[in-house]
Amino acid sequence: METQDDKGGWKALVRSREDVEKSRHIPVTPQTQSPAYKLAIDDKDFLYREELRPVRLQLELLKPEMLLQERGIRSTVVMFGGARIPEPGKEAWAAHNEEQKQNLEANSRYYEEAREFARLVSQYSASTYFREMIIVTGGGPGVMEAGNRGADDVGAPSIGLNIVLPHEQAPNAFVTPGLCFNFHYFAIRKMHFLMRAKAVAVFPGGFGTLDEMFESLTLIQTKRMEPMPFLLFGREFWSKVINFPMLAEQGTISPEDLSLFHHIDTAQEGWDIVRAHYAL
């Protein structure tokens, strides 16, 4: 049902578009050809100025937030993981030598676990009319693709939060088109990952995955974010990459901080932890 606010907002949108269009069909004079004459909302050179960064940050925060609200999405399950991990049976595309190739292809089992975990979460999400626990990934290849693909397997929507990188990254084919966003600012993208999060699943990955993992853990540790199921998929991988007990032994984290996350290996283990935490 359309409300008065909806009508007012729609009228304002129409007026703004009409004004922009009118401003483009004007007599050519020295005054109208000056950049100063352009409407601010239609002046990209102005919007790209350094002084307008706060406005661009706000726009990048608002656009996905408004679209997610319009879809009625209240909570998400976040999936982080490496872009280089291939689907089982496919060749690793990012290996620099034979050892890396073999390791990446061995880690392809995490692609299947990520896909299955997303399926399990999305099957529950269907019972909420896809308002709760929507899968959200970084929108790229590897583990991210597996997460979006698992949701797609059961007919569920999923979110992709892509970002502009030096090497062009296209969204994977399984992100729901209307929930596929692109970011310039890493900080705003990270905010959107966690603003609705009810659980975080972290699969093997590189610098980006580690960055996202530690920032999320820090927010929980410092109570800036509610405690939630925090799942580290791959006991062997994480025990070799990060010596968490050593951090506690050295006193740089508290012993109780080791309880902020769970080491697991399978999708079912992960989903059981989420279900138990929320008594689903």
Label each residue of the chain as H, E or C: CCCHHHHHHHHHHHHHHHHHHHHCCCCCCCCCCCHHHCCHHHCHHHHCCHHHHHHHHHHHHHHHHHHHHHCCCCCEEEEECCCCCCCCCCCCCCCCCHHHHHHHHHCCHHHHHHHHHHHHHHHHHHCCCCCCCEEEECCCCCHHHHHHHHHHHCCCCEEEEEECCCCCCCCCCCCCHHHEEEECCHHHHHHHHHCCEEEEEECCCCHHHHHHHHHHHHHHHCCCCCCCCEEEECHHHHHHHCCHHHHHHCCCCCHHHHHHCEEECCHHHHHHHHHHHHCC
Whole-angstrom distance, CA of residue 140 vs CA of residue 89 = 19
Domain 72-278 has CATH 3.30.465.10: no
The pLDDT tens digits for 159-193 are: 999 999 887 578 999 999 999 999 999 999 999 99
pLDDT digits (tens, 9 = 90+) for 53-99: 999 999 999 999 999 999 999 999 999 999 999 999 988 888 889 99
pLDDT at residue 14 in the model: 67
Region 238-260 average pLDDT: 96
* 104 contacts 94 by C-beta, under 8 angstroms: yes
Residues 21-64 have pLDDT tens digits of 776 778 889 988 888 988 888 889 999 999 999 999 999 999 99
CB 179 within 8 A of CB 71: yes
Q: How would you classify the pairing of strands 262-264 and 230-233?
A: parallel
Q: Is the pLDDT of residue 151 over 70?
A: yes
Residue with tokens 């993208």: 189
**55 φ, ψ to 5°?**
-70, -40
C-alpha of 28 from chain center: 46
∠ CA(199), CA(223), CA(185), 5° rounding?
70
Closest-CA residue to 151 (of 113, 122, 112, 114):
122
CA dihedral 54, 59, 64, 65 (to 10 degrees): 70
Query: Is the pLDDT confidence value at 20 over 80?
Result: no
Spatial distance between the Cα atoms of 79 and 120, rounded to a whole number of angstroms: 13
On average, the pLDDT of the chain sits at: 92
pLDDT at 133 over 50: yes
Measured CA to CA, the distance from residue 41 to residue 92 in angstroms comes to: 45
pLDDT interval class at 2 (50, 70, 90)? very low
- For the chain, the structural domain boundaries read 27-70, 72-278
Whether residue 120 contacts residue 268, with contact meaning beta carbons closer than 8 Å, is answered with yes
What does the alpha-carbon distance between residue 158 and residue 146 come to, in Å, rounded to a whole number?
A: 11
